[in-house]
Amino acid sequence: MKGLVIAEPWIGKILTGEKTWEMRSRDTAVRGRIALIRKGSKTIVGVADLVGTVLNLSHSDLKASIEKHRVPVREIDGRFKHTTAWVLECTRPLREPIPYQHPAGAIVWVNLDPEISAKVEQQLPTGVG
Condensed to tens digits (0 to 9), the pLDDT of residues 77-123 reads 988 899 999 999 999 999 999 999 999 999 999 999 999 999 999 99
Under DSSP, the state recorded for 36 is E
User: Which range marks the domain in which residue 62 is found?
Assistant: 2-122
Is residue 128 one of the residues assigned to a domain?
A: no
Is residue 28 one of the residues assigned to a domain?
A: yes
pLDDT band for 66, please (50, 70, 90 cuts): very high
Is residue 36 one of the residues assigned to a domain?
A: yes
Cα 49–Cα 50–Cα 53 angle in degrees, nearest 5: 155
Is residue 49 one of the residues assigned to a domain?
A: yes
Is residue 42 one of the residues assigned to a domain?
A: yes
What CATH number has the domain bearing residue 7? 2.30.130.30
- The pLDDT score that the predictor gives to residue 79 is 85
Residue 50 has pLDDT above 90, yes or no: yes
Say what the pTM is.
Answer: 0.94
Instruction: Please count the structural domains in the chain.
Output: 1
